[in-house]
A and B are shown apart, each in its own frame.
Chain A
Protein backbone atom coordinates (compact mmCIF):
# COMPACT_ATOMS: atom_id res chain seq x y z
CA UNK A 1 0.00 0.00 0.00
CA UNK A 2 1.44 3.34 -0.98
CA UNK A 3 1.80 5.51 2.10
CA UNK A 4 -0.68 8.30 2.32
CA UNK A 5 0.85 11.53 1.17
CA UNK A 6 1.26 13.67 4.21
CA UNK A 7 2.91 16.95 4.55
CA UNK A 8 5.69 16.11 6.95
CA UNK A 9 7.36 19.50 6.43
CA UNK A 10 4.31 21.08 8.01
CA UNK A 11 4.11 18.66 10.89
CA UNK A 12 7.76 18.86 11.97
CA UNK A 13 7.80 22.55 12.87
CA UNK A 14 4.38 22.25 14.51
CA UNK A 15 5.76 19.48 16.71
CA UNK A 16 8.86 21.47 17.61
CA UNK A 17 6.83 24.49 18.71
CA UNK A 18 4.22 22.43 20.52
CA UNK A 19 1.48 23.40 18.09
CA UNK A 20 0.86 19.89 16.77
CA UNK A 21 -2.44 18.12 17.41
CA UNK A 22 -2.58 14.54 18.71
CA UNK A 23 -3.36 13.35 15.21
CA UNK A 24 -0.32 15.15 13.82
CA UNK A 25 1.91 13.75 16.54
CA UNK A 26 0.77 10.29 15.63
CA UNK A 27 1.45 10.93 11.96
CA UNK A 28 4.94 12.09 12.78
CA UNK A 29 5.56 8.98 14.83
CA UNK A 30 4.48 6.75 11.95
CA UNK A 31 6.72 8.62 9.56
CA UNK A 32 9.68 8.40 11.92
CA UNK A 33 9.33 4.63 12.13
CA UNK A 34 9.13 4.16 8.39
CA UNK A 35 12.79 4.74 7.61
CA UNK A 36 15.94 5.28 9.62
CA UNK A 37 16.69 8.34 7.52
CA UNK A 38 13.44 9.95 8.58
CA UNK A 39 14.32 9.45 12.18
CA UNK A 40 17.79 10.92 11.65
CA UNK A 41 16.46 13.93 9.79
CA UNK A 42 14.04 14.76 12.54
CA UNK A 43 16.53 14.21 15.33
CA UNK A 44 19.12 16.39 13.63
CA UNK A 45 16.71 19.26 13.12
CA UNK A 46 15.46 18.97 16.67
CA UNK A 47 18.91 18.81 18.17
CA UNK A 48 20.32 21.69 16.15
CA UNK A 49 17.40 23.79 17.37
CA UNK A 50 17.96 22.83 21.00
CA UNK A 51 21.65 23.51 20.79
CA UNK A 52 21.11 26.89 19.22
CA UNK A 53 19.10 27.82 22.24
CA UNK A 54 21.68 29.40 24.42
CA UNK A 55 22.24 32.88 23.08
CA UNK A 56 25.67 34.25 22.99
CA UNK A 57 26.01 37.27 25.23
CA UNK A 58 26.32 40.49 23.31
CA UNK A 59 29.29 42.65 24.11
CA UNK A 60 26.98 45.31 25.44
CA UNK A 61 24.95 43.06 27.75
CA UNK A 62 26.88 43.68 31.00
CA UNK A 63 27.05 47.40 30.60
CA UNK A 64 23.41 47.63 29.54
CA UNK A 65 22.27 45.69 32.58
CA UNK A 66 24.02 48.03 34.98
CA UNK A 67 22.41 51.05 33.30
CA UNK A 68 18.95 49.47 33.34
CA UNK A 69 19.23 48.39 36.95
CA UNK A 70 20.48 51.74 38.17
CA UNK A 71 17.89 53.72 36.25
CA UNK A 72 14.98 51.66 37.55
CA UNK A 73 16.45 51.78 41.04
CA UNK A 74 16.70 55.56 41.07
CA UNK A 75 13.13 55.92 39.85
CA UNK A 76 11.85 53.47 42.38
CA UNK A 77 13.56 55.26 45.23
CA UNK A 78 12.14 58.50 43.94
CA UNK A 79 8.64 57.01 43.99
CA UNK A 80 9.10 55.82 47.54
CA UNK A 81 10.23 59.24 48.52
CA UNK A 82 7.05 60.74 47.14
CA UNK A 83 4.91 58.32 49.12
CA UNK A 84 6.83 59.15 52.26
CA UNK A 85 6.28 62.79 51.59
CA UNK A 86 2.50 62.54 51.42
CA UNK A 87 2.35 60.62 54.69
CA UNK A 88 4.54 63.24 56.21
CA UNK A 89 2.12 65.95 55.15
CA UNK A 90 -0.89 64.28 56.69
CA UNK A 91 0.62 64.17 60.12
CA UNK A 92 1.00 67.95 60.06
CA UNK A 93 4.54 68.81 60.90
CA UNK A 94 6.13 72.14 61.61
CA UNK A 95 6.74 74.51 58.73
CA UNK A 96 10.48 74.21 59.17
CA UNK A 97 10.35 70.45 58.86
CA UNK A 98 8.22 70.72 55.78
CA UNK A 99 10.63 73.14 54.14
CA UNK A 100 13.48 70.77 54.80
CA UNK A 101 11.64 67.91 53.15
CA UNK A 102 10.76 70.08 50.19
CA UNK A 103 14.38 71.00 49.75
CA UNK A 104 15.52 67.44 49.87
CA UNK A 105 12.87 66.32 47.40
CA UNK A 106 13.95 69.13 45.13
CA UNK A 107 17.64 68.35 45.25
CA UNK A 108 16.92 64.68 44.88
CA UNK A 109 14.92 65.27 41.71
CA UNK A 110 17.69 67.40 40.35
CA UNK A 111 20.15 64.62 40.92
CA UNK A 112 17.93 62.20 39.08
CA UNK A 113 17.59 64.52 36.11
CA UNK A 114 21.30 65.10 36.03
CA UNK A 115 21.95 61.41 35.90
CA UNK A 116 19.57 60.92 33.01
CA UNK A 117 21.08 63.74 30.99
CA UNK A 118 24.61 62.58 31.39
CA UNK A 119 23.58 59.08 30.46
CA UNK A 120 22.23 60.37 27.18
CA UNK A 121 25.49 62.12 26.41
CA UNK A 122 27.28 58.84 26.89
CA UNK A 123 29.27 60.44 29.68
CA UNK A 124 30.18 58.23 32.61
CA UNK A 125 27.90 58.53 35.62
CA UNK A 126 28.42 57.68 39.27
CA UNK A 127 26.65 54.53 40.32
CA UNK A 128 25.82 54.30 43.98
CA UNK A 129 24.85 51.21 45.93
CA UNK A 130 23.54 51.75 49.41
CA UNK A 131 22.76 49.13 51.98
CA UNK A 132 20.36 50.63 54.54
CA UNK A 133 20.46 50.09 58.27
CA UNK A 134 19.29 46.61 59.19
CA UNK A 135 20.24 45.07 55.85
CA UNK A 136 23.21 43.41 54.15
CA UNK A 137 23.38 43.66 50.36
CA UNK A 138 25.31 41.79 47.74
CA UNK A 139 26.59 43.83 44.80
CA UNK A 140 27.78 42.31 41.54
CA UNK A 141 30.28 44.49 39.77
CA UNK A 142 30.40 44.43 35.96
CA UNK A 143 33.72 42.52 35.91
CA UNK A 144 32.30 39.71 38.02
CA UNK A 145 33.77 40.85 41.31
CA UNK A 146 31.48 40.48 44.31
CA UNK A 147 30.91 42.89 47.15
CA UNK A 148 28.96 42.30 50.35
CA UNK A 149 27.82 45.64 51.72
CA UNK A 150 27.16 45.73 55.41
CA UNK A 151 24.28 47.76 56.85
CA UNK A 152 24.48 51.52 56.51
CA UNK A 153 27.29 51.29 53.96
CA UNK A 154 27.74 52.80 50.56
CA UNK A 155 29.70 51.76 47.48
CA UNK A 156 30.25 54.07 44.53
CA UNK A 157 31.76 53.48 41.13
CA UNK A 158 31.66 55.04 37.71
CA UNK A 159 29.55 53.62 34.90
CA UNK A 160 32.74 53.04 32.95
CA UNK A 161 34.06 50.80 35.72
CA UNK A 162 36.17 48.05 34.24
CA UNK A 163 37.12 50.07 31.20
CA UNK A 164 40.62 51.11 32.12
CA UNK A 165 40.55 50.66 35.87
CA UNK A 166 38.40 49.05 38.50
CA UNK A 167 37.89 51.70 41.14
CA UNK A 168 35.26 51.83 43.86
CA UNK A 169 34.76 54.15 46.81
CA UNK A 170 33.56 52.78 50.13
CA UNK A 171 31.87 54.30 53.14
CA UNK A 172 31.04 51.83 55.87
CA UNK A 173 31.98 48.19 55.73
CA UNK A 174 32.30 45.78 52.83
CA UNK A 175 33.75 42.41 52.02
CA UNK A 176 35.33 42.17 48.58
CA UNK A 177 35.84 39.10 46.45
CA UNK A 178 37.84 40.46 43.55
CA UNK A 179 38.01 38.72 40.21
CA UNK A 180 41.60 38.23 39.10
CA UNK A 181 42.85 40.69 36.51
CA UNK A 182 46.49 41.66 36.74
CA UNK A 183 46.18 44.32 34.04
CA UNK A 184 43.38 46.24 35.67
CA UNK A 185 44.02 46.31 39.41
CA UNK A 186 41.05 46.66 41.69
CA UNK A 187 41.16 49.82 43.78
CA UNK A 188 39.15 50.66 46.89
CA UNK A 189 39.23 54.25 48.04
CA UNK A 190 38.16 55.04 51.53
CA UNK A 191 39.04 58.04 53.66
CA UNK A 192 42.36 59.10 52.27
CA UNK A 193 43.74 55.67 51.57
CA UNK A 194 43.70 53.49 48.49
CA UNK A 195 43.73 49.71 48.69
CA UNK A 196 44.97 47.90 45.60
CA UNK A 197 44.18 44.27 44.87
CA UNK A 198 44.46 42.00 41.86
CA UNK A 199 42.54 38.86 42.76
CA UNK A 200 41.80 38.83 46.45
CA UNK A 201 39.22 38.52 49.20
CA UNK A 202 39.32 41.08 51.96
CA UNK A 203 37.24 43.05 54.41
CA UNK A 204 37.33 46.82 54.81
CA UNK A 205 35.67 48.39 57.81
CA UNK A 206 35.59 52.16 58.19
CA UNK A 207 33.01 52.40 60.93
CA UNK A 208 34.18 50.07 63.66
CA UNK A 209 35.28 53.24 65.35
CA UNK A 210 35.29 56.76 64.01
CA UNK A 211 38.97 57.36 63.57
CA UNK A 212 40.37 54.21 62.01
CA UNK A 213 40.00 52.04 58.94
CA UNK A 214 40.46 48.34 59.46
CA UNK A 215 41.48 46.02 56.64
CA UNK A 216 41.57 42.25 56.98
CA UNK A 217 42.97 40.06 54.24
CA UNK A 218 41.57 36.59 53.61
CA UNK A 219 43.36 35.61 50.42
CA UNK A 220 45.85 37.07 47.97
CA UNK A 221 47.82 40.23 48.52
CA UNK A 222 46.96 43.86 49.14
CA UNK A 223 48.83 47.09 48.87
CA UNK A 224 47.54 49.97 50.96
CA UNK A 225 48.65 53.48 50.22
CA UNK A 226 48.00 56.88 51.62
CA UNK A 227 46.68 58.96 48.74
CA UNK A 228 48.32 62.12 50.03
CA UNK A 229 51.50 60.57 51.33
CA UNK A 230 53.63 62.33 48.79
CA UNK A 231 52.40 65.67 50.13
CA UNK A 232 53.48 65.11 53.69
CA UNK A 233 57.15 64.44 54.35
CA UNK A 234 58.07 61.59 56.59
CA UNK A 235 54.77 59.78 56.20
CA UNK A 236 54.90 56.03 55.58
CA UNK A 237 54.10 55.58 51.91
CA UNK A 238 52.54 52.20 51.75
CA UNK A 239 52.20 48.85 53.34
CA UNK A 240 51.65 45.36 51.97
CA UNK A 241 49.35 42.79 53.52
CA UNK A 242 49.51 39.01 53.26
CA UNK A 243 46.79 36.57 54.38
CA UNK A 244 46.42 36.53 58.13
CA UNK A 245 47.29 40.22 58.35
CA UNK A 246 45.12 42.95 59.68
CA UNK A 247 45.96 46.58 59.06
CA UNK A 248 44.60 49.48 61.01
CA UNK A 249 44.98 52.85 59.45
CA UNK A 250 44.61 55.73 61.81
CA UNK A 251 42.94 58.67 60.11
CA UNK A 252 44.09 61.02 62.85
CA UNK A 253 47.74 60.11 62.71
CA UNK A 254 47.87 58.90 59.09
CA UNK A 255 49.67 55.79 60.26
CA UNK A 256 49.41 52.11 59.42
CA UNK A 257 49.65 49.44 62.07
CA UNK A 258 49.88 45.85 60.85
CA UNK A 259 48.97 42.95 63.13
CA UNK A 260 48.73 39.21 62.75
CA UNK A 261 45.40 37.56 63.36
CA UNK A 262 44.69 33.88 63.91
CA UNK A 263 41.39 33.76 62.13
CA UNK A 264 39.63 36.24 59.89
CA UNK A 265 36.24 34.77 60.78
CA UNK A 266 35.29 37.30 63.42
CA UNK A 267 35.95 40.12 60.95
CA UNK A 268 34.14 38.69 57.95
CA UNK A 269 31.33 36.53 59.39
CA UNK A 270 28.87 39.44 59.17
CA UNK A 271 28.46 38.72 55.49
CA UNK A 272 26.97 35.33 56.37
CA UNK A 273 24.58 36.89 58.87
CA UNK A 274 26.69 36.19 61.95
CA UNK A 275 27.14 38.89 64.53
CA UNK A 276 30.38 38.34 66.39
CA UNK A 277 31.93 40.17 69.34
CA UNK A 278 35.45 39.71 70.70
CA UNK A 279 36.15 41.60 73.90
CA UNK A 280 33.82 44.31 72.70
CA UNK A 281 33.08 47.29 74.90
CA UNK A 282 29.59 48.60 75.46
CA UNK A 283 29.76 51.27 72.79
CA UNK A 284 30.95 48.84 70.10
CA UNK A 285 28.14 46.40 70.89
CA UNK A 286 25.47 49.12 70.84
CA UNK A 287 26.76 50.56 67.54
CA UNK A 288 26.76 47.12 65.93
CA UNK A 289 23.26 46.29 67.13
CA UNK A 290 21.88 49.62 65.93
CA UNK A 291 23.20 49.07 62.46
CA UNK A 292 22.41 45.39 62.35
CA UNK A 293 18.82 45.59 63.51
CA UNK A 294 17.97 49.15 62.50
CA UNK A 295 17.08 50.19 66.04
CA UNK A 296 18.06 52.99 68.40
CA UNK A 297 19.20 52.46 71.94
CA UNK A 298 18.71 54.59 75.01
CA UNK A 299 19.62 53.52 78.52
CA UNK A 300 18.99 54.18 82.18
CA UNK A 301 21.91 53.90 84.53
CA UNK A 302 25.47 53.21 83.47
CA UNK A 303 27.13 50.05 82.19
CA UNK A 304 29.93 48.59 84.23
CA UNK A 305 33.24 50.22 83.29
CA UNK A 306 34.81 46.83 82.65
CA UNK A 307 32.08 45.87 80.15
CA UNK A 308 33.59 43.36 77.84
CA UNK A 309 31.63 40.97 75.70
CA UNK A 310 32.64 37.97 73.62
CA UNK A 311 30.05 35.95 71.75
CA UNK A 312 28.38 35.08 68.48
CA UNK A 313 24.85 35.32 67.16
CA UNK A 314 23.90 33.48 64.01
CA UNK A 315 20.90 35.14 62.33
CA UNK A 316 19.14 35.68 65.63
CA UNK A 317 16.29 37.93 66.62
CA UNK A 318 17.17 41.09 68.45
CA UNK A 319 15.28 39.86 71.47
CA UNK A 320 17.40 36.73 71.93
CA UNK A 321 20.56 38.78 71.49
CA UNK A 322 19.41 41.22 74.15
CA UNK A 323 18.52 38.39 76.50
CA UNK A 324 22.01 36.91 76.23
CA UNK A 325 23.71 40.27 76.55
CA UNK A 326 21.49 41.31 79.46
CA UNK A 327 22.50 38.30 81.54
CA UNK A 328 26.13 39.20 81.22
CA UNK A 329 25.89 42.97 81.22
CA UNK A 330 23.22 43.05 83.92
CA UNK A 331 20.49 44.97 82.24
CA UNK A 332 16.88 44.45 81.37
CA UNK A 333 15.35 45.83 78.20
CA UNK A 334 12.18 47.09 76.60
CA UNK A 335 11.58 47.11 72.85
CA UNK A 336 9.12 49.57 71.36
CA UNK A 337 9.22 49.38 67.54
CA UNK A 338 12.64 50.73 66.66
CA UNK A 339 13.45 52.05 70.10
CA UNK A 340 15.24 49.88 72.62
CA UNK A 341 15.53 50.96 76.22
CA UNK A 342 18.14 49.31 78.45
CA UNK A 343 17.81 49.49 82.20
CA UNK A 344 21.02 48.75 84.10
CA UNK A 345 20.72 47.38 87.59
CA UNK A 346 22.55 49.44 90.15
CA UNK A 347 26.03 48.16 90.90
Chain B
Protein backbone atom coordinates (compact mmCIF):
# COMPACT_ATOMS: atom_id res chain seq x y z
CA UNK B 1 0.00 0.00 0.00
CA UNK B 2 1.25 3.39 -1.00
CA UNK B 3 0.59 5.54 2.06
CA UNK B 4 0.98 8.77 0.19
CA UNK B 5 -1.52 7.68 -2.41
CA UNK B 6 -4.01 6.64 0.25
CA UNK B 7 -3.62 10.05 1.88
CA UNK B 8 -4.39 11.74 -1.42
CA UNK B 9 -7.57 9.68 -1.68
CA UNK B 10 -8.54 10.78 1.82
CA UNK B 11 -8.07 14.42 0.94
CA UNK B 12 -10.28 14.03 -2.10
CA UNK B 13 -12.98 12.41 0.01
CA UNK B 14 -12.66 14.99 2.79
CA UNK B 15 -12.69 18.08 0.59
CA UNK B 16 -14.83 17.11 -2.37
CA UNK B 17 -16.82 14.17 -1.11
CA UNK B 18 -15.35 12.45 -4.15
CA UNK B 19 -17.18 9.18 -4.73
CA UNK B 20 -14.53 7.81 -7.07
CA UNK B 21 -11.83 8.29 -4.43
CA UNK B 22 -14.07 6.81 -1.77
CA UNK B 23 -14.62 3.74 -3.90
CA UNK B 24 -10.92 3.25 -4.46
CA UNK B 25 -10.18 3.75 -0.78
CA UNK B 26 -12.92 1.27 0.08
CA UNK B 27 -11.53 -1.30 -2.32
CA UNK B 28 -8.10 -1.08 -0.73
CA UNK B 29 -9.27 -1.62 2.83
CA UNK B 30 -12.59 -3.43 2.68
CA UNK B 31 -11.29 -6.92 1.86
CA UNK B 32 -8.56 -6.82 4.48
CA UNK B 33 -10.85 -5.50 7.19
CA UNK B 34 -13.59 -8.02 6.46
CA UNK B 35 -11.05 -10.80 6.63
CA UNK B 36 -9.78 -9.40 9.88
CA UNK B 37 -13.27 -9.13 11.40
CA UNK B 38 -14.04 -12.68 10.34
CA UNK B 39 -11.45 -14.04 12.73
CA UNK B 40 -13.68 -12.82 15.56
CA UNK B 41 -17.17 -13.21 14.13
CA UNK B 42 -16.64 -16.49 12.23
CA UNK B 43 -19.33 -15.23 9.92
CA UNK B 44 -18.52 -13.44 6.71
CA UNK B 45 -21.94 -11.83 6.71
CA UNK B 46 -21.56 -10.36 10.21
CA UNK B 47 -17.99 -9.31 9.47
CA UNK B 48 -19.17 -7.46 6.41
CA UNK B 49 -21.87 -5.63 8.40
CA UNK B 50 -19.42 -4.61 11.11
CA UNK B 51 -16.95 -3.28 8.59
CA UNK B 52 -19.69 -1.44 6.71
CA UNK B 53 -20.64 0.34 9.95
CA UNK B 54 -17.06 1.47 10.41
CA UNK B 55 -16.95 2.91 6.89
CA UNK B 56 -20.29 4.66 7.27
CA UNK B 57 -19.06 6.39 10.43
CA UNK B 58 -15.79 7.27 8.75
CA UNK B 59 -17.47 8.80 5.70
CA UNK B 60 -19.98 10.70 7.81
CA UNK B 61 -17.17 12.69 9.32
CA UNK B 62 -15.42 13.38 6.08
CA UNK B 63 -13.85 16.60 7.23
CA UNK B 64 -11.94 14.83 9.97
CA UNK B 65 -10.44 12.29 7.59
CA UNK B 66 -7.39 14.38 6.87
CA UNK B 67 -6.46 14.47 10.56
CA UNK B 68 -6.14 10.71 10.93
CA UNK B 69 -2.44 9.98 11.21
CA UNK B 70 -2.28 6.34 10.27
CA UNK B 71 -5.45 5.30 8.52
CA UNK B 72 -4.65 1.60 8.37
CA UNK B 73 -4.06 1.36 12.09
CA UNK B 74 -7.12 3.50 12.73
CA UNK B 75 -9.32 1.22 10.64
CA UNK B 76 -8.06 -2.00 12.22
CA UNK B 77 -8.63 -0.49 15.63
CA UNK B 78 -12.12 0.74 14.72
CA UNK B 79 -13.09 -2.67 13.37
CA UNK B 80 -11.78 -4.30 16.52
CA UNK B 81 -13.87 -1.95 18.68
CA UNK B 82 -16.89 -2.66 16.54
CA UNK B 83 -16.29 -6.38 17.12
CA UNK B 84 -16.15 -5.84 20.89
CA UNK B 85 -19.50 -4.05 20.79
CA UNK B 86 -20.89 -6.84 18.68
CA UNK B 87 -19.86 -9.44 21.24
CA UNK B 88 -21.19 -7.39 24.13
CA UNK B 89 -24.56 -7.44 22.43
CA UNK B 90 -24.28 -11.17 21.97
CA UNK B 91 -23.16 -11.43 25.60
CA UNK B 92 -20.07 -13.41 24.84
CA UNK B 93 -16.39 -12.68 24.83
CA UNK B 94 -14.26 -11.71 21.96
CA UNK B 95 -11.87 -14.43 20.95
CA UNK B 96 -10.00 -15.60 17.93
CA UNK B 97 -11.88 -18.55 16.59
CA UNK B 98 -10.72 -21.68 14.95
CA UNK B 99 -12.38 -21.23 11.67
CA UNK B 100 -12.32 -22.64 8.22
CA UNK B 101 -9.91 -20.21 6.64
CA UNK B 102 -10.78 -21.16 3.15
CA UNK B 103 -14.44 -20.44 3.67
CA UNK B 104 -13.80 -16.97 4.92
CA UNK B 105 -11.33 -16.11 2.23
CA UNK B 106 -8.59 -15.29 4.70
CA UNK B 107 -6.08 -16.96 2.48
CA UNK B 108 -2.55 -15.89 1.91
CA UNK B 109 -1.87 -15.54 -1.76
CA UNK B 110 1.13 -14.47 -3.78
CA UNK B 111 0.29 -12.67 -6.99
CA UNK B 112 2.36 -12.86 -10.18
CA UNK B 113 4.96 -14.90 -8.33
CA UNK B 114 7.60 -15.39 -10.97
CA UNK B 115 10.60 -13.14 -10.62
CA UNK B 116 14.35 -13.22 -10.22
CA UNK B 117 14.11 -15.00 -6.90
CA UNK B 118 10.71 -16.57 -6.72
CA UNK B 119 9.48 -19.41 -8.87
CA UNK B 120 5.84 -20.39 -9.15
CA UNK B 121 6.54 -23.63 -7.39
CA UNK B 122 8.31 -22.01 -4.46
CA UNK B 123 5.61 -19.36 -4.18
CA UNK B 124 2.93 -21.99 -3.82
CA UNK B 125 4.99 -23.78 -1.17
CA UNK B 126 5.27 -20.54 0.76
CA UNK B 127 1.54 -19.95 0.45
CA UNK B 128 0.95 -23.42 1.81
CA UNK B 129 3.17 -22.86 4.83
CA UNK B 130 1.61 -19.54 5.74
CA UNK B 131 -1.93 -20.79 5.25
CA UNK B 132 -1.04 -23.68 7.52
CA UNK B 133 0.10 -21.42 10.39
CA UNK B 134 -2.03 -21.57 13.53
CA UNK B 135 -4.72 -18.84 13.37
CA UNK B 136 -2.98 -16.31 15.62
CA UNK B 137 0.35 -16.65 13.88
CA UNK B 138 -1.29 -16.22 10.55
CA UNK B 139 -3.04 -13.00 11.55
CA UNK B 140 0.09 -11.62 13.13
CA UNK B 141 2.21 -12.46 10.12
CA UNK B 142 -0.31 -10.85 7.85
CA UNK B 143 -0.70 -7.68 9.88
CA UNK B 144 2.96 -7.07 10.55
CA UNK B 145 4.89 -8.48 7.62
CA UNK B 146 2.33 -7.90 4.89
CA UNK B 147 0.31 -4.89 6.03
CA UNK B 148 3.33 -3.28 7.65
CA UNK B 149 1.88 -2.55 11.08
CA UNK B 150 4.38 -2.00 13.87
CA UNK B 151 4.72 -4.67 16.57
CA UNK B 152 3.21 -2.32 19.10
CA UNK B 153 0.21 -1.58 16.90
CA UNK B 154 -0.48 -5.22 16.15
CA UNK B 155 -0.14 -6.04 19.85
CA UNK B 156 -2.65 -3.37 20.74
CA UNK B 157 -5.16 -4.37 18.11
CA UNK B 158 -4.97 -8.05 18.94
CA UNK B 159 -4.68 -7.63 22.73
CA UNK B 160 -1.41 -9.55 22.83
CA UNK B 161 1.95 -8.68 24.32
CA UNK B 162 4.76 -7.49 22.07
CA UNK B 163 6.68 -10.54 23.25
CA UNK B 164 3.97 -12.84 21.90
CA UNK B 165 4.02 -11.03 18.58
CA UNK B 166 7.78 -11.38 18.45
CA UNK B 167 7.67 -15.11 19.24
CA UNK B 168 5.08 -15.89 16.62
CA UNK B 169 6.96 -13.97 13.99
CA UNK B 170 10.32 -15.55 14.65
CA UNK B 171 8.74 -19.00 14.56
CA UNK B 172 7.07 -18.08 11.29
CA UNK B 173 10.30 -16.87 9.73
CA UNK B 174 12.19 -19.89 10.99
CA UNK B 175 9.75 -22.23 9.30
CA UNK B 176 9.83 -20.25 6.09
CA UNK B 177 13.63 -20.09 5.99
CA UNK B 178 13.88 -23.81 6.56
CA UNK B 179 11.52 -24.52 3.70
CA UNK B 180 13.26 -22.11 1.34
CA UNK B 181 16.71 -23.49 2.15
CA UNK B 182 15.58 -27.04 1.40
CA UNK B 183 13.97 -25.94 -1.79
CA UNK B 184 17.09 -24.13 -2.94
CA UNK B 185 19.23 -27.15 -2.13
CA UNK B 186 17.06 -29.70 -3.89
CA UNK B 187 16.80 -27.49 -6.95
CA UNK B 188 20.45 -26.46 -6.82
CA UNK B 189 19.61 -22.79 -7.14
CA UNK B 190 22.32 -20.25 -6.54
CA UNK B 191 22.96 -16.65 -7.20
CA UNK B 192 24.86 -16.00 -10.39
CA UNK B 193 28.59 -15.42 -10.07
CA UNK B 194 28.11 -11.87 -11.03
CA UNK B 195 26.17 -11.14 -7.89
CA UNK B 196 26.18 -7.40 -8.15
CA UNK B 197 22.81 -7.40 -6.43
CA UNK B 198 24.66 -7.56 -3.15
CA UNK B 199 25.26 -3.89 -3.47
CA UNK B 200 21.54 -3.22 -3.40
CA UNK B 201 20.95 -4.45 0.11
Contacts and interface: CB of A to CB of B under 8 A. Distances in A.
Contacts of A68: 26, 52, 55-56, 59
Contacts of B32: 55
A39 B150 contact: no
Interface string A296-316: 000000000000000000000
Contact of A138 (B20, B44, B62, B195): B20
B52 A13 contact: no
B179 to A, nearest CB: 10
Nearest to A51: B110
Contacts of B27: 57, 61, 65
Interface of B: 1, 19-20, 22-23, 26-28, 30-32, 34-35, 44, 48, 51-52, 55-56, 59-60, 62, 105, 108-113, 115, 117-118, 122-123, 126, 144-146, 148-151, 166, 169-174, 176-177, 180-181, 184, 189-191, 195, 197-198, 201
Most buried by B among A12, A32, A44, A67: A44
Q: How large is the interface on A (under 10, 10 to 19, 20 to 34, 35 or more residues)?
A: 35 or more
Contact of B173 (A9, A47, A57, A61): A9
Contacts of A53: 1, 146
Most buried by B among A13, A47, A65: A13
A60 B46 CA distance: 12
10 contacts: A13-B169, A17-B145, A18-B150, A52-B108, A54-B111, A56-B105, A64-B48, A64-B51, A65-B22, A68-B56
Interface stretch (A71-79, A165-173, A253-261, A324-332): A71-79
Given A9-B173, A47-B115, A47-B117, A61 B26 contact: yes
A75 B56 CA distance: 9
A336 interface: no
Contacts of A56: 31, 105, 109
Contacts of A210: none
A36 B166 contact: no
Contacts of B151: 14, 17, 19
A10 interface: yes
B126 A44 contact: yes
B173 A36 contact: no
Contacts of A49: 145-146
A54 B174 CA distance: 24
Nearest to B168: A13
Contact of A58 (B34, B59, B112, B166): B34
Contacts of B26: 61, 64-65, 68-69
Most buried by B among A41, A48, A54: A48
B110 to A, nearest CB: 5
A54 B146 CA distance: 10
Nearest to A29: B201
A64 B52 contact: yes
Most buried by A among B26, B111, B173: B173
Nearest to A59: B105
B16 to A, nearest CB: 10
Contacts of A57: 27, 31
Contact of B191 (A14, A29, A39): A39
Contacts of A54: 111
A60 B48 contact: yes
A45 interface: yes
A51 B123 CA distance: 10
The 10 closest A-B pairs by CB, nearest first: A13-B169, A72-B59, A9-B170, A55-B31, A36-B191, A9-B174, A68-B55, A9-B173, A65-B26, A10-B170
